[in-house]
Chain A
Amino acid sequence: MNQIANSDPAVVIIGSGAGGGTLAYELTAAGIPCVLLEAGAFIKNEDYHNNEWEAFRQMAWLDARTTSGSWRVAKDFPGLPAWIVKAVGGSTTHWSGATPRFRDYEFRAKTTYGDIEGATLLDWPITLEDLAPYYDKAEIAMGSTHRHGRAALPANNNYKVFANGAERVGYKQYATGPYATNAEPYDGRPASIQDGFNFQGDKNKSKWSTLVREIPRALDTGLLDLRPDSHVVRITHGADGKADAVLYVDKDGNLHRQAAKVVCVAGNSIETPRLLLLSESNRFPTGLANGADHVGRHYMRHMTGSVYAQFDKPVHMFRGETMAGIIADEAPNKPERGFVGGYYMETLSLGPSFLAAFVEPGAWGPEFAAIMDAYANTAGMWIVGEDMPQASNRITLSGTVKDQWGLAAPNVHFDDHANDTAMRNYAYEHAQKLYEAVGAVSSHRTPPYPSTHNLGTCRMSERPEDGVVDKWGRAHEVSNLFVSDGSVMTTGAAANPTLAIRQAEYLAGALKAGNL
């Protein structure tokens, strides 16, 4: 592995997930050495557990966090606002891999949806056309099924219920993907063995993650200096206002300084704004790149929910790929449904360990027991749609709670927008109808889990006063500071690695031309 001196001003990337891991590979492949700092450990596929709680405890980000607001997560899981992975590979190790594309009008949310009270909608500074070539590259890299010649995954049991229900209620746009797990061997990785543990990290390596693809390849270039167990706690700047170094803590609590010529932050949408807020200085008294007061705001988590339906015959939903089933019929914007934006339906399966904790948090008694007793005959789906950005949904620094290093913990404040609630209720109703159409004897509306999709807290904007970064992810206020993860999403959807590939190309060009 390449070793870059701490005093050598380097391209420094913070976080090795979808954004950071992809960026590290694209830059090193273009001949640019990088330091990649990752707070979590270097855990390999063979170390993963086929057990929900063990895997969660092994890899989830469990540092202190707090919550506030009227969302139910704040009541049921006050210390766990989100499910994010802290390990090399980031949340791509636990993600399920559904990869539908953004639609063109979704980049123009404000223009398309108009003024929605309480929502801070904004058009993106880029269009679907700008992104299309990078979507292609990302889908090819991830081996998304149904795309670029990749075969579809076969129908598993949960999908059979889901797809037949879809057909019977008149949906057309259902399929087993696009889904970033191999149906056939591809790109040096084997076909899925349908083991059902992809939320636990896929031991078989059939699922794309930066751990199985981008990081080993970046290491192979000989240009990557990967440092696991390195938690960045501050980005410093020089008299010129440009970032000049990052300070990080190793697993024993020792502080280190890495000089930087470019800093790319990709800690996911809670840690990225937290780090910028923690990096306040005389020059940036409210946090780095936060002069316009958008860092941490407009936090989005997608409108989500689940429906679990019980049948009088076996389903065994846990056998097979967790989310290899997508329905897109409800994805378009049809305001006549009583809300703007759209949503997808996706198959979802939890084992009894997780189902008990999440199906109806706080519940007990015979009705709860009946849901669990029906486990083998249960089918499940997730609903996931665009949620409205709101300035008051935001990440702030806790005034009271500290993490293990003594640093202010992030607080995640969230209230559903009326549009989110209307969409969720509509989606619940239609999910239940779908299952009734194939004979469900009962079904249950499960509230949103701790957020797996965290977006928007350093949003992209054309004008500096409307956001944190420009269309390349470059901070409006700090010319060599980039945000390289889902925080940059101006509004609700799209796949992150896509943006990172595009940013890498820009950065490589700028670095080679000496513009940074």
Chain B
Amino acid sequence: MFLQQIASGLALGCVYALIALGFVLIYKATEVVNFAQGEFMMLGAFVALSLMTGAKLPFFLTIFLAVMIMGVFGMVLERMVMRRLVGEPIFALVMFTIGLSIFLRSIAGMVWSTDTFKFPTVFGKSFTQIGSVTISSMDILVVSITAALVIILYLFFKFTDIGIAMEATSQNQFASFLMGISVERVFNLIWAISAMVAAVAGILLAPILFIHKDMGFIGLKAFPAAVLGGFGSIPGAIVGGLIIGLSENLAGVFLPAWVKDVFAYIILIAVLMVRPEGIFGIQEKKRV
């Protein structure tokens, strides 16, 4: 029972981590805090659902297409809108993406109605026996896909030219610009990658949760994960996501039911009181 809670906590934590990763990627490169990340995830799930039930495509093709479509969506959004906001104060950016999230939610409600949908999964409710513990296959899938994705992203940032350009841009935009890196292209790509990661998160979350226009609200729980880890740190997002997912599930076992829902925030506030820059964050002070 306890171990099972840990397993499903890990799976939930992975989803949080993926959404948090989306925040962090965008923030690192462009300094935009994307409150609509949860809505990207919701859109990804809905697109996958439509492809599967509407177009009746096979499972893995569906997922591939949905992720690609969201990637294009991210690019278009960056090109058409976000680019105009480069350099605006953080407060304006936060409010802008909040507006975007409200807008996307409403649009999703118009397109896909406000009903709740169930995502058909290839695994059904199968379980795997590991020693004395039974773990749902879905949980294992979620954890392994997350791990794979993180490794791919790591390799991408470490070894490809464009990945290195992105890393450089996130360190110092102006210097990268002067070094001949096309900062705009980097931004464009980062939005695409972020939206793709969100789509994966949405598809992974869909069998755990239901698909609904408001499912993006779970993004608000991924925020504590990103902030906990130190906003802007990729390992921070993963660790933060896992901490939040695990502790939330364990709180469900050991603490009164109502605490579970806000436990992420209780942990967040507790950590920030000790480390105001999060676990892996670095607090930069303005030089005077």
Do chains A and B stick together as partners?
Answer: no
Residues of chain A at the chain B interface (Cβ within 8 Å) = none
